[in-house]
Amino acid sequence: DAGITQSPRHKVTETGTPVTLRCHQTENHRYMYWYRQDPGHGLRLIHYSYGVKDTDKGEVSDGYSVSRSKTEDFLLTLESATSSQTSVYFCAISGAGENSPLHFGNGTRLTVT
């Protein structure tokens, strides 16, 4: 799993509650990413980080925020969860070179009721 740990692995929460997902890497890679995967949509980028405190939006960033205070940790927060955010969330990492591929964690399955 390329030294990537996602927590929790499963979570059920209620609409309107805040939720934070954590990604921890042991590879010291510069880039970290949050994706969501949904049937019919494939993998979609939510946010990414290119260094400590450096983050940027992906294609589906509305309703999500991120923080990266240490190289190894990248947090994804749903400020007020909605049912449309029920999904499987994947963290990925890559090195700094443009030819560096992404390596993924095993995902967090989030259900918003």
Q: Which is nearer to other proteins, 1 or 14 (CB)?
A: 1
Q: Which is nearer to other proteins, 38 or 79 (CB)?
A: 38
Residues forming the site for other proteins (CB under 8 A): 1, 4, 40-43, 45, 48, 58, 90, 98-99, 101-107, 109
**Strands ordered across the beta sheet of 73-78:** 4-7, 19-25, 73-78, 64-70
33-67: b or e for each residue (b if 16 or more CB lie within 10 Å)?
Answer: bbbbeeeeeeeebbbbbeeeeebeebebbeebebe
Minimum CB distance to other proteins, residue 59 (Å): 9
Minimum CB distance to other proteins, residue 29 (Å): 14
Minimum CB distance to other proteins, residue 17 (Å): 24
